[in-house]
Homo-oligomer: A and B are copies of this chain.
Amino acid sequence: MLVSDIVRNNARFFGDKEAVVVPGGTTRTWSDLDTRTTRFANALLGLGLSKGDRIALFSPNCGEFLEFFFATAKSGIIGAAVNIRLSAHELSSYLAYVEPAAVLVHADLADNARTWLPDVPSARHVIGFGGDHGFALDLEQLIARASAEEPSVHVGEDDVYQLGATSGTTGIPKAAVLTHRNAIAALQNWLAELPVPEYGTALQCIPMFFNPGGPSGLHPVLLKGGRTVIPPAFDPAEFPRLVQEYRVTNTTIVPTMVQMVVSQPDVERYDFSSLRGIMSGGSPYSAGVLKRAREVLGDVLYPLYGMAESYSCGAVLRPEDQFTEGTEQQVGWLDSIGRPLTMINLRVVDPDGNDVPHDGRTSGEIWLSGPSVSPGYFNMAEETARSRAGEWFRTGDVAVIDSEGFVTIVDRLKDMIITGGINVFSIEVERVLQDHPEVEQAAVIGVPHEKWGEAIHAVVRRREGSTLTEAELVDFAAQRLSGYKKPRSVEFVDALPISATGKVLKKELRERHVRTPRHPAS
């Protein structure tokens, strides 16, 4: 099955039903969408692009975004939606690697795009849409002129559908090649978990260029003839109104957004009874937020673990496993990523590739395999080989498994600190530091040390007005952690370097430290 089958099948069986609703904008049925995306595909092919070429999309959320997914699927041209929050330099570096033959730019970002487009020499065509864009080519005109006959390109399940950018905490994003098979498998993995009614309604909350969001701007709701409601951006105050007005059944969202929604003062006034299942990824929920979210929204949250390389598939903490009260082990599962999805093989392995015991203590790297796992990075044979062990993808996430099979991430492999031959998980130390009432945010890294190999170093942003000292904070940590885990040095900063997807760039911290060590290795 191909991604394009979704729109074709829905045109056949749900033709008159709504497919895309832009609040205050256009609404399209599945029949419309099918015809329009065929024309869109033909328009691209008509410009001389062919199967396997890349086309970049630079746009906020909008109806055309979904059309882009189906048009690329139908034409065999590989879609590459780019993160609009990247800097001009980051964008042109990423696109110099992806080499798109064309770039689609939303009118609202036309001026932005003009700053980096000259540095993307591969782009033979720039196509504007969504308003006054000033580019020579206009998407609507191209679509209007193109044929509505199915393109004659042969697209197979193992052909590339999109490129999924990795989050790039370690430099310019790599692009994971995502095939039609990967996409369909991912959608099925989610359908196997979430209740999704026939012609339900998905509300688009996260940016559609994200993972999940790039490719999974295609919500599983679509597979049962459902529609997507696409506001231009997420607004926690608008969310309750939209859910109520459109009888939203499903959505994809990150925990921070959920927290923002459920802390709205008037949130209880709204009707959330239409909600069936919310896909939620990126980080675990705190017990407090989850409890509150379940009170307000219902028992509809499905925290998911995954990454660009697995089309965002990995594990799920099922509702029946979400204990806000219970035994210590049960409540502890809230920090876990749960158990593997139904079409994911997941192992936690030691450096020799053997499964670690299920003791909740022995850590290892998470390896994944299954039909949603990307065949590799675009044009990066070496990086691909390094990230594999046979059929397994090495995630770089370090985790433990408990006696009941629940998997809890303890660190990123690259962020783990080896001091005196012992592994220390930066996340564990960060959690303790963040418990200090005067700490706003903390990042813990390993810095070179002659005797211990690495020493633990904390980079900390204090709350406004705080006069917390290094000695006080180290002392605080020492009372809560084994001796070898406490930071040897603390550095206070005004801001931590953050990636476009909101993650602390530890690599940058490590590099900075090597350039200007505050505590010379002693």
Q: Identify A188's interface contact among B157, B343, B346, CB under 8 A.
A: B343
Distance of A477 from chain B, by nearest CB (Å): 34
Q: Are B191 and A320 in contact (CB under 8 A)?
A: no
Q: Are B405 and A13 in contact (CB under 8 A)?
A: yes
Q: How far is the CA of A340 from the CA of B1 in the complex (A)?
A: 13
Interface positions, chain A 1-16, Cβ under 8 Å from B, are 1, 5, 8-9, 12-15
Q: Does A197 contact B (CB under 8 A)?
A: yes
Q: Identify A339's interface contact among B13, B157, B343, CB under 8 A.
A: B13
Q: Does A63 contact B (CB under 8 A)?
A: no
Q: Are B347 and A12 in contact (CB under 8 A)?
A: yes
Q: Does A245 contact B (CB under 8 A)?
A: no
Range class of the A interface residue count = 35 or more
Q: Are A1 and B345 in contact (CB under 8 A)?
A: yes
Q: How far is the CA of A463 from the CA of B507 in the complex (A)?
A: 84
A345: nearest chain-B partner, CB-CB: B5
Please state the number of chain copies in the assembly. Answer: 2
Distance of A121 from chain B, by nearest CB (Å): 40
Distance of A356 from chain B, by nearest CB (Å): 11
Q: Mark A308-346, 1 if CB is under 8 A from B, else 0.
A: 000000000010110000000000000000011011011
Q: Are B198 and A195 in contact (CB under 8 A)?
A: no
Q: Identify A343's interface contact among B1, B197, B346, CB under 8 A.
A: B1
Q: Are A188 and B12 in contact (CB under 8 A)?
A: no
Q: How far is the CA of A14 from the CA of B403 in the complex (A)?
A: 9
Distance of A56 from chain B, by nearest CB (Å): 30
Q: Identify A342's interface contact among B12, B223, B318, B358, CB under 8 A.
A: B223
Q: Does A224 contact B (CB under 8 A)?
A: yes
Q: Does A207 contact B (CB under 8 A)?
A: no
Q: Identify A320's interface contact among B14, B15, B198, B405, CB under 8 A.
A: B198
Q: Are B371 and A405 in contact (CB under 8 A)?
A: no
A321: nearest chain-B partner, CB-CB: B198
Q: Does A521 contact B (CB under 8 A)?
A: no
Q: Are A12 and B198 in contact (CB under 8 A)?
A: no
Q: Does A355 contact B (CB under 8 A)?
A: yes
Q: How far is the CA of A8 from the CA of B347 in the complex (A)?
A: 11
Q: Does A184 contact B (CB under 8 A)?
A: yes
Q: Which 6 A-B pairs have the closest CB atoms?
A: A13-B405, A191-B192, A223-B342, A188-B188, A1-B343, A13-B339
